[in-house]
Amino acid sequence: MMKVLLCGGGNAIHVLSSYISSRDDTHVTVLSLFPGEADKLRDAIPEEGIRCINDLGDDVYGKPDAVIGKAEDVPKDLDIVVFALPSFTHEMYLKALKPYVKAGVTIGAMPGEGGFDLCAIHNLGSEFCRHSNIFALETLPWACRILEYGKKVEVLGTKKEVEVIVSPKHGTTKDEVVTEVLHKLVGRLPELDPADNFLAVTLMNINSVWHPTISYGFYRNRDVTVPFDEPPLFYYGADEYTGEKLSKISDEVLEIKRVLLEKYPSLHLHSLHHVSEWMLRSYGDDIGDKTSIYTMLRTNKGYRGLTHPMREVQVEGQTKYLPNFRYRYFTEDLPMGLIVTRGIAELAGVKTPHMDDVILWCQEMLGKEYLVDGELKGKDLEYTRAPQRYGFDTLDSFMEVNHYLDDA
């Protein structure tokens, strides 16, 4: 019997609860630390369980064995802990669970934005994590939404392939074992594709480059207090300057890669590419004009119609739109994304003037302070996953404590 702990209580937890509880070989507990959510969810789930309707034609029913609101009530000897939560809550869960999980457990996040491993190691300890399996999925395996709270959830789209990182690696067997276990839990699709290591994935986090930079490029010469009649297009609205800025920031990330490989030649960073290469690999023939990043953004079928995150406002009885800087493009892709990369650059001694332009603008829009006088020392650094926030001030200690050289 595999003992599974699911952390959270939203859309993704509904899907996971249904899928995993429908199996005969699992014991499932849901933990929500959000005040009142555990009671509400427990009361809402009917005897037959949560119904999950999905795009693969399966209709699944599963009822978790328990829904709890306190970490001290988690079962002993958990085999696997899955966070399906916004990343700003990960630390709270790790701190709460620390006394109740044993080394050897498999613990991870879907999605696990940049630096999930840093957060886990900081909170659970480097030795604990060396003897456990820390994993992250690059994204949620499905687009999903609750149709009826506690009763019915819909998977709108299942991804075909999702990258999974497992750390530390002790050869491929362990990787495969964890991937196999995870595979059982997320359903027959997507395929889980093992990635190089957390460092490569953190530096290749495409959202951390795309979202802040495209937002900066679009709004940089605009008055952000003037409402729009319609939400403006996100990718199709990018200009040539933005395409070049994305390219230059990606060059800065590749300079970090160069410096790291010079210092640690056996490090695996094969999956870290320029964003233009990532774009061609990910979208291929969906792209109409492959001349430059600018043309690729504006002719990628997969990006058609997607708009900037906005909030509605009423102006003289009419609905208008203002930028929503509280959206995850800023609240997650900056502190758990670009700031993490910027912190690694600082440790590696790599100058990042283009990244800094974007960070300085975004932090002003967010009302936060991360980068000050060219260094990550702002008052809001403690809410990020930058290495500096965890006290790392040398590249060697950062690489060693976080096990990046273990499998090199």
Summarize as ranges the residues that interact with ligand NAD (CB under 6 A). Answer: 8-12, 32-34, 37, 84-86, 89, 111, 139-140, 143-144, 328
CB of 173 to ligand NAD, least distance (A): 29
Q: Which is nearer to ligand NAD, 36 or 288 (CB)?
A: 36
Pick from 280, 294, 290, 276: nearest CA to 236: 294
Q: Which of the residues are catalytic?
A: 211
Other C-beta atoms lying within 10 Å of the C-beta of residue 365: 17
CB of 7 to ligand NAD, least distance (A): 8
CB of 170 to ligand NAD, least distance (A): 29
CB of 282 to ligand NAD, least distance (A): 16
Pick from 141, 148, 71, 83: nearest CA to 116: 83
Cβ atoms of 155 and 54 within 8 Å: the answer is yes
Q: Which is nearer to ligand NAD, 10 or 150 (CB)?
A: 10
Helix (H, G, I), strand (E, B) or coil at 287: strand
In sequence order, which ranges of 268-335 are alpha helices (DSSP H)?
A: 275-283, 293-298, 328-331
CB of 346 to ligand NAD, least distance (A): 26
CB of 11 to ligand NAD, least distance (A): 3
Supply angle C-alpha 224, 228, 229, rounded to 5: 175
DSSP secondary structure string for all residues of 340-365: HHHHHHHHHT---HHHHHHHHHHHHH
Q: Which is nearer to ligand NAD, 187 or 243 (CB)?
A: 187
CB of 45 to ligand NAD, least distance (A): 14
Q: Which is nearer to ligand NAD, 117 or 252 (CB)?
A: 117
Pick from 306, 115, 289: nearest CA to 201: 115
Cβ atoms of 271 and 200 within 8 Å: the answer is yes
Q: Which is nearer to ligand NAD, 86 or 194 (CB)?
A: 86
Q: Which is nearer to ligand NAD, 84 or 371 (CB)?
A: 84
CB of 368 to ligand NAD, least distance (A): 17
In sequence order, which ranges of 100-226 are alpha helices (DSSP H)?
A: 116-124, 126-130, 172-186, 198-204, 206-219
DSSP secondary structure string for all residues of 210-235: HHHHHHHHHHTTS-TTSPBSSPPBSS
In sequence order, which ranges of 59-115 are alpha helices (DSSP H)?
A: 90-97
Q: CA 50 to CA 83: how far, in whole Å?
A: 19
Q: CA 168 to CA 403: how far, in whole Å?
A: 6
Nearest-CB residue to ligand NAD?
10
Q: Which is nearer to ligand NAD, 38 or 78 (CB)?
A: 38
Strand 26-31, strand 50-53: pairing = unpaired
Q: Which is nearer to ligand NAD, 338 or 395 (CB)?
A: 338
Cβ atoms of 12 and 156 within 8 Å: the answer is no
Backbone angles phi, psi at 380, to 5 degrees: -95, 10
Pick from 310, 341, 338, 303: nearest CA to 324: 310
